[in-house]
Amino acid sequence: MTKKATEVFDVWANDGSAEEMEDGHAGPVQVAVSQMDLLAGETILDLGCGNGWATRMLAGITSAPAIGIDGAPSMVERARQLSSDFPDITFEQASFEALPVESETIDRVFSMEALYYALDPAVVIAEIYRVLKSGGRTEIIVNFFRENKMTERWAEVLGVSMQWLGEDDWAELFRSAGFDLVETRRVADPKGPGREDEFAPEPWCPTWPEKVDFYEQGSLWVRAKKPGSSSG
């Protein structure tokens, strides 16, 4: 039976998996962030914030207000607990398809490993467009995409509906929503696949060659800009 993604993430928020995801995703995110040219004063929206680790990282760079949004109530509560020293960060439990954010108030939308859980990514991307200021940018990173063949089994393993789109599919969704300067990149995880003699099969990745290929494919990073000039 297919579960809701929020049900899975509520469990993960309470069993330590949120911190495991942070460890697993930190490498490619840090590489991408180093290339984003983030500016002081940029307001941040983090979609699928989990325990808030990336929200805190980005807000620490921009020294400006940031919002983390997640569909799982327990993840939002975990993020709030871990972010008590960050008064300019707020976390909200909400659907990506109806963001509790005023139009044209965000400079940069970031998301790591979250948008493919949306039932209709086009609706979510339209919401991203709505909340961004003119000239605002979006930075979306996913590991679950068609060119990374090993990931095809993930939806079945997790028991959750997920959108397995290709690199060109993601780019076209942003173009169709009105974004310009749409580009895709691959981001390599600096830690790599590890050592073969330490490899242990798991449902997500049953063989060593598949793990190597997964890391060689890298994460898909989709970048886009809302037309207009940024007000800074």
Q: What are the pLDDT digits (tens) for 77-87?
A: 999 999 999 99
Residue 134 and residue 90 in contact, taking contact as beta carbons nearer than 8 Å: no
Sheet with strand 219-225: strands edge to edge: 89-93, 66-70, 44-47, 106-112, 132-142, 219-225, 180-187
Q: Name the residue ranges covered by the structural domains of the chain.
A: 5-225
- Kindly tell me if the per-residue pLDDT of 13 is higher than 90: no
Where is average pLDDT lowest: 44-48, 157-161, 178-182? 157-161
Where is average pLDDT lowest: 15-19, 86-90, 178-182? 15-19
DSSP letter string, 184-225: EEEE--TT-S--GGG---BTTB-SHHHHHHHHHH-EEEEEEE
- Kindly tell me if the per-residue pLDDT of 231 is higher than 70: no
- Kindly tell me if the per-residue pLDDT of 49 is higher than 90: yes
- Kindly tell me if the per-residue pLDDT of 202 is higher than 60: yes
Q: Tell me phi and psi for residue 150, to 5 degrees.
A: -60, -25
- Kindly tell me if the per-residue pLDDT of 215 is higher than 90: yes
Give the mean pLDDT of 194-218: 95
Give the CATH H-level superfamily of domain 5-225.
Answer: Vaccinia Virus protein VP39 (3.40.50.150)
Q: Give CA–CA dist 41/36, Å, rounded.
A: 14
